[in-house]
């Protein structure tokens, strides 16, 4: 079974958000945000702490209704989709995903199949379910731990299991909120390689600019809830952006072997 068979339904739709505004407790958290995530590409969502990345991902996932604006996936308005259709279209791996249970890892990953099961949760309509779950566990390197209790997993193993559950959901659009938290360097690189290879439309909030430079095709940079910059990572990530958005002095050159942007920081600047 290929990655695409596992995760996509043959389409890699664009995600187009226009004029998204979210207000919370009299504060404007997102301010007329426009975002285009091209089908089949990885779009990095960058920006400092509190700039609105998680809020934006929640709107793109349909978990939060914006005060203004609209999200379209492959031309369809996200909020017009029913819960199950939406879950087969868009899936989010949360930043602090928690699962408190004594279920086995395989069972937790199997929860990703719910949108494909019968109306009342029966697996009768999901003959591929078992194989898809097994393949998802294999893709994230957790096949050996499938029968372990969830509570026995390390933080990094749980993060990968959450990805497996999301892959088992077979969405067309994968939203990742700081997906490399808890992962060691090797697992970070494998995780982002896998996200690219899936061929899905991926939007990933990332703090690590080196990882963003290496694995994203495009970036959208938020600052104070507004889009500060967007475009291909190769032309968007530069020293001016480091200064303006992060208050960091640094240089962005071309990586000698990867031919991708290479970020080297000197330290915080005097002005933020
Ligand atoms: N319920 C709420 N009421 C008021 N403000 C909120 C609420 N939830 C979030 N915020 C604020 O919205 C802003 C954006 O939060 P969000 O989590 O989207 O940012 P972020 O870019 O993901 O941050 P980080 O990089 O630290 O994870 C923050 O200033 C946060 O304090």
Atom of ligand 1 nearest to the CA of 30: 14
Residue identifier of the C-alpha nearest atom 26 of ligand 1: 49
Residue entry with tokens 């997906």: 179
Gap between the Cα atoms of 209 and 205, Å rounded: 11
Atom of ligand 1 nearest to the CA of 95: 27
Ligand 1 center to 13 CA (angstroms): 28
Mutate to test the pocket of ligand 1, among 50, 181, 208 (most ligand atoms within 8 A of CB): 50
- Tokens (6 digits) for 83: 């819960």
Mutate to test the pocket of ligand 1, among 24, 63, 92 (most ligand atoms within 8 A of CB): 24
Residues 266/246, Cβ–Cβ less than 8 Å: no
Kindly provide the b/e burial profile for residues 99-124, where b requires at least 16 CB atoms within 10 angstroms of the residue's own CB.
Answer: eeeeebbbebbbebbbbbbeeeeeee
Range of lowest pLDDT (18-27, 79-88, 116-125, 156-165) = 116-125
Ligand 1 center to 230 CA (angstroms): 21
CA-to-CA separations, 48 to 76, 159, 179, 180, 247, in angstroms, rounded? 31, 22, 16, 16, 10
pLDDT surpassing 70 at residue 134 = yes
pLDDT surpassing 90 at residue 11 = no
Ligand 1 center to 17 CA (angstroms): 19
Read off the pTM. 0.91
Widest CA span in the chain: 62
**Binding-site residues, ligand 1, Cβ < 6 A:** 24-25, 27, 29, 47, 49-55
Strands 173-177 and 90-93 turn out to be: parallel
Atom of ligand 1 nearest to the CA of 207: 25
pLDDT surpassing 70 at residue 125 = yes
Residue identifier of the C-alpha nearest atom 30 of ligand 1: 50
Ligand 1 center to 227 CA (angstroms): 15
Residues 228/221, Cβ–Cβ less than 8 Å: yes
Ligand 1 center to 45 CA (angstroms): 14
Q: Enter the ipTM.
A: 0.97
The pLDDT confidence band at residue 155, using thresholds 50, 70 and 90, is confident
Cβ atoms within 10 Å of 186's Cβ, excluding its own: 8
Q: What is the mean pLDDT of residues 253-260?
A: 83
Beta strands in the chain (DSSP E): 15-24, 27-37, 42-46, 68-73, 76-77, 90-93, 173-177, 201-205, 218-223, 226-232, 248-254, 261-268
Cβ atoms within 10 Å of 264's Cβ, excluding its own: 11
Q: Name the DSSP letter for residue 10.
A: S
Instruction: Give residue 169's Cα distance to chain centre.
Output: 14
The pLDDT confidence band at residue 232, using thresholds 50, 70 and 90, is very high
Task: For residue range 219-231, list pLDDT tens digits in order.
Answer: 999 999 999 999 9
């Amino acid at each position: 079974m290929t990655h695409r068979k596992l995760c996509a339904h043959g389409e890699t739709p664009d995600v187009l958000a226009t004029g998204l505004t979210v207000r919370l407790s009299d504060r404007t958290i997102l301010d007329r945000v426009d975002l285009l995530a091209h089908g089949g590409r990885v779009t990095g969502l960058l920006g400092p702490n509190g700039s609105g990345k998680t809020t934006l991902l929640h709107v793109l996932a349909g978990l939060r209704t914006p005060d203004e604006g609209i999200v379209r996936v492959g031309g369809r308005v996200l909020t017009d989709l029913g819960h199950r259709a939406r879950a087969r279209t868009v899936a989010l791996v949360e930043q602090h995903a928690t699962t408190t249970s004594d279920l086995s890892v395989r069972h937790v990953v199997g929860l990703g199949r719910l949108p494909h099961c019968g109306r009342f949760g029966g697996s009768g309509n999901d003959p591929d379910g078992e194989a898809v779950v097994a393949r998802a566990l294999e893709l994230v390197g957790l096949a050996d731990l499938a029968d372990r209790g969830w509570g026995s997993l390390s933080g990094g193993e749980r993060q990968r299991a959450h990805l497996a559950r999301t892959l088992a959901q077979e969405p067309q659009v994968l939203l990742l909120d700081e997906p490399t938290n808890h992962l060691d360097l090797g697992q970070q690189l494998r995780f982002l390689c896998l996200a690219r290879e899936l061929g899905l439309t991926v939007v990933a909030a990332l703090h690590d600019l080196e990882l963003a430079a290496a694995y994203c095709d495009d970036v959208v940079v938020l600052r104070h809830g507004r889009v500060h910059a967007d475009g291909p990572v190769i032309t968007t990530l530069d020293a001016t952006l480091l200064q303006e958005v992060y208050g960091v002095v640094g240089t962005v050159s071309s990586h000698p072997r990867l031919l991708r942007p290479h970020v080297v920081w000197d330290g915080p600047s005097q002005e933020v």
